[in-house]
Amino acid sequence: MVVSGERLRLWLERDRRGAGYHLRDAATNEPVSWEDPRIRVVPVAGVSFRPEAVADASFDPGKRLALVPEPDNEHDPNAVAVWNLERTLQAGYVPRDVAAELDGSEQAVSLWRAGEGLRVLIAPREAWIGRPRR
């Protein structure tokens, strides 16, 4: 992730269809693309193995999530699991290529859910992510 000297501030704005959120820069009021280098928006890997967890309200768009490194994971020592904030349900994993780039200080928010799929916003720890506007 590219980190600038200014604190990133984001609004979560509800999609018209209600499937999730778009991002808006709170400082400039400009839309923020999911490809913006200051953030990562990733599909959670492995959700097909945990459909009941992903369907839980704790993964609803706008909910804060826990990113849990798994250095002892036998398949990938860089693995980062995606859990609900209470760490009672696991949705899956950050994709392998993105997980290797994380340093463990990031924060995560559920951004979009479609069918069994889940997309998560990963942002620097110091970023401000505003509560969804209603």
Using only C-alpha atoms, what is the Rg of the chain?
14
Query: Going residue by residue through the chain (134 aa), what tens digit of pLDDT does each one get?
Result: 444 457 899 999 988 877 799 999 999 999 999 999 999 999 999 999 999 999 999 999 999 999 999 999 999 999 999 999 999 999 999 999 999 999 999 999 999 988 779 999 999 999 999 965 55
The alpha carbon of 109 is separated from its chain's Cα centroid by a whole number of angstroms, namely 4
> Which 3-state string (H, E, C) describes 48-75?
HHCHHHHCCHHHCCCCEEEEEECCCCCC
**This model's pTM is above 0.85:** yes
Considering only the C-alpha atoms of the chain, give the largest distance between any 2 of them, rounded to a whole number of Å.
Answer: 44
Instruction: Give, in degrees to the nearest 5, the angle at Cα 33 between 86 and 42.
Output: 40
Return phi, psi of residue 80, to 5°: -130, 115
Task: Concatenate the DSSP letters of all residues of 12-61 into one string.
Answer: EEE-TTSSBEEEEETTT--EE-TT-TT-EEEEPBTGGG-HHHHTSGGGST
